[in-house]
Amino acid sequence: MESTIIKSRNFNASFGTNHVVKNVNIDIPRNQIVAVMGPSGCGKTTYLRCINRMHELIPGASSSGEMRLNNEDIYQMHPIFVRLKIGMVFQRPNPFPNLSIYDNVIAGYKLNGIKLPKADRDRIVEHSLTSVALWNEVKDSLNKKGSFLSGGQQQRLCIARCVAMEPEVILFDEPTSALDPISTSTVEELFHELKKNYTLVIVTHNMQQAARVSDKTAFFFLGELVEYDETKTMFTNPKDNRTQNYITGRFS
């Protein structure tokens, strides 16, 4: 199997006349964690949302250039297939408030009208919750509403919901920015486990987090991809002046 799972070539995205992602070229390797960092408004979230075609849902949004998943053009595929293969976890935990914890995990099947035998459902729920280290905390309250959990647990529930669909890639849009430090470290530990089966792309405005969790890091600045390299190289020996300035805290 090819080692590159997502490949962008000359990728651009804009809102109306506002050009927010400029000519980005990235190869994302399979089963690795890629962090996307940069100051606010640099286009990192927009770029992430282009990968699973959530960007186009905003009125006035447009994009151009190549974005490939396993060498297949994402923009030629149906957005629903794209989103089944590329899951997403959002900035704020957003479990379905009307569904129980159990139903939240299998929401991708349940709400899509896919009927599964009870045994399969139970297996998926247990497996997904175990893989996000939530099973032991919630196994006795699976019928309670998803919003009953704490913020950090809700975020892990959202990750479990994503994992249950067995995607190839999971996108994280600042997954810990709404969480307290302890929940943050729990989620970060998860990333290393998830990496075995999935490719993770994590947008973060927190450099330390990028340095802690990722294999490769991309630095965005004003819509441009300034530098993309092994995380170690990036933080010890950046090639570009702007990266140097950013990681030494001269601007943020």
Partner 1 sequence: MNIESVKFRLGKSSGFQILIYTLAFACVIPLLFILGYILEAGITKINWHFLVNIPKPVGESGGGIANALLGSVLIIAVASVIAIPIGIMAGIYLSENKKSRLAYWCRLSTDILQGVPSIVIGIVIYFWLVRPLGFSALAGSVALAIMMLPIIVRSTEETLKLLPDSLKEAGLALGLPFHRVIFKVILPVGVGGILSGVMLSIARITGETAPLLFTAFGNPYLSVNMTKPMQSLPLLIYNYATSPYTDWLNLAWGASVVLLLWVLFLNIFTKIITRKWKVQL
- Contacts with partner 1, residue ranges (CB under 8 A): 52, 54, 57, 59, 80-81, 83-84, 87-88, 90, 92, 94-98, 107-108, 111-113, 145, 147, 158, 161-162, 165
- 55: helix, strand or coil: helix
CA 44 from centre of chain: 11
Return the number of the residue (41 or 81) whose C-beta is nearest partner 1. Answer: 81
Q: How far apart are CA 132 and CA 89, in angstroms?
A: 13
Return the number of the residue (108 or 223) whose C-beta is nearest partner 1. Answer: 108
> Smallest gap, in angstroms, from Cβ of residue 98 to partner 1?
5
Helices (H), the chain: 44-51, 79-85, 101-105, 107-110, 118-131, 135-138, 151-163, 181-194, 207-213, 231-236, 241-247
> Smallest gap, in angstroms, from Cβ of residue 55 to partner 1?
11
Under a CB-based contact definition with an 8 Å cutoff, are residues 238 and 247 in contact? Answer: yes
Nearest by Cα to 36 from 48, 27, 54: 48
> Smallest gap, in angstroms, from Cβ of residue 212 to partner 1?
25
Per-residue tokens: 58: 């905003």
> Smallest gap, in angstroms, from Cβ of residue 162 to partner 1?
8
Count the Cβ atoms, other than its own, within 10 Å of residue 81.
13
> Smallest gap, in angstroms, from Cβ of residue 164 to partner 1?
9
- 37: helix, strand or coil: strand
Return the number of the residue (135 or 148) whose C-beta is nearest partner 1. Answer: 148
The residue with tokens 């002046």 is 241
In terms of Cβ atoms closer than 10 Å to its own Cβ (0-12, 13-18, 19+), residue 196 is exposed
Return the number of the residue (136 or 143) whose C-beta is nearest partner 1. Answer: 143
> Smallest gap, in angstroms, from Cβ of residue 112 to partner 1?
6
Return the number of the residue (124 or 247) whose C-beta is nearest partner 1. Answer: 124
Return the number of the residue (22 or 145) whose C-beta is nearest partner 1. Answer: 145
